[in-house]
């Protein structure tokens, strides 16, 4: 079997407090491993801030957003969120599950939620690494940005996607998603 294809279903469910440590681990590995192809070591360190992350604070942040986790064989493979106005603050996939449909399953799930809330669009600040995925999924670059974190300049893109009528509407019932990325 091609390691880039997935025969195991990807389940998406709401975030729970017990997901704090695994989602933080996904975040840190996605930033320090996956994004390292597109960002310098200094940028990665400023973005990850691994020594400053505390699980209780991470849990509060994840709980405050409308966060979801993607599971493969019961293991958290990625996570995302969507606000009531369609803003995606975070979407990260573990390097072990990269390019296996996890991000697509998450985006499909949150897109339906955004449509159900009558959000006219989705928006996100997207890394250089994630930009091709978001473009493939219909997002367009609105602006290039250069935020400064811990004194280090990064680069990312404000991207948006209009949520006009789509065949995705109504497909998510709260569980299984098996999309290919």
- Tens of pLDDT, residues 131-144: 999 999 999 999 99
Question: What band does 165 get if pLDDT is binned at 50, 70 and 90?
Answer: low
pTM: 0.86
Q: What is the pLDDT of residue 150?
A: 87
Strand runs labelled E in 20-136: 67-72, 75-81, 87-88, 91-93, 121-127
- Model confidence pLDDT, tens digit, residues 60-97: 999 999 899 999 999 999 999 999 999 999 999 999 99
Residue 36: count other Cβ atoms within 10 Å of its Cβ: 16
Q: What is the spatial distance between Cα 181 and Cα 148, in angstroms, rounded to a whole number?
A: 31
Is the pLDDT at 172 greater than 60? The verdict is no
Which of 60-74, 99-113, 122-136, 166-180 has the least mean pLDDT?
Answer: 166-180
Is the pLDDT at 178 greater than 60? The verdict is no
Q: What is the pLDDT of residue 7?
A: 62
CA dist 92 → 4, 23, 34 (Å) = 17, 9, 10
Instruction: Provide the mean pLDDT of the chain.
Output: 88
The domain locations on the chain are 11-167
- The predicted model gives 21-43 an average pLDDT of 97
Q: What is the spatial distance between Cα 74 and Cα 57, in angstroms, rounded to a whole number?
A: 24
Is the pLDDT at 8 greater than 70? The verdict is yes
Is the pLDDT at 109 greater than 60? The verdict is yes
Chain centroid to Cα 70, Å, comes to 10
User: Under CATH, which architecture does the 11-167 domain have?
Assistant: 3-Layer(aba) Sandwich (3.40)
Report the percent of the chain where pLDDT is more than 90. 83
- The predicted model gives 167-178 an average pLDDT of 42
């Amino acid at each position: 079997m091609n390691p880039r294809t997935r025969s195991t279903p990807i389940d998406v469910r709401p975030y729970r407090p017990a997901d704090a440590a695994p989602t933080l681990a996904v975040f840190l590995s996605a930033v320090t491993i996956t994004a390292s192809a597109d960002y310098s070591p200094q940028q990665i360190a400023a973005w990850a801030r691994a020594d400053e992350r505390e699980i209780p604070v991470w849990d509060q942040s994840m709980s405050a957003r409308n966060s979801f986790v993607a599971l493969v064989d019961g293991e958290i493979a990625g996570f995302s969120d969507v606000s009531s106005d369609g803003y995606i603050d975070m979407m990260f996939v573990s390097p072990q599950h990269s390019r296996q449909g996890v991000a697509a399953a998450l985006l499909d799930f949150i897109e339906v939620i955004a449509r159900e809330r009558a959000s006219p669009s989705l928006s996100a600040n997207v890394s250089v690494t994630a930009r091709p995925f978001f473009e493939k999924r219909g997002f367009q670059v609105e602006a290039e940005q250069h935020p400064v974190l811990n004194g280090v300049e990064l680069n990312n893109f404000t991207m948006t996607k209009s949520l006009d009528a789509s065949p995705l509407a109504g497909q998510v019932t709260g569980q299984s998603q098996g999309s290919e990325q």
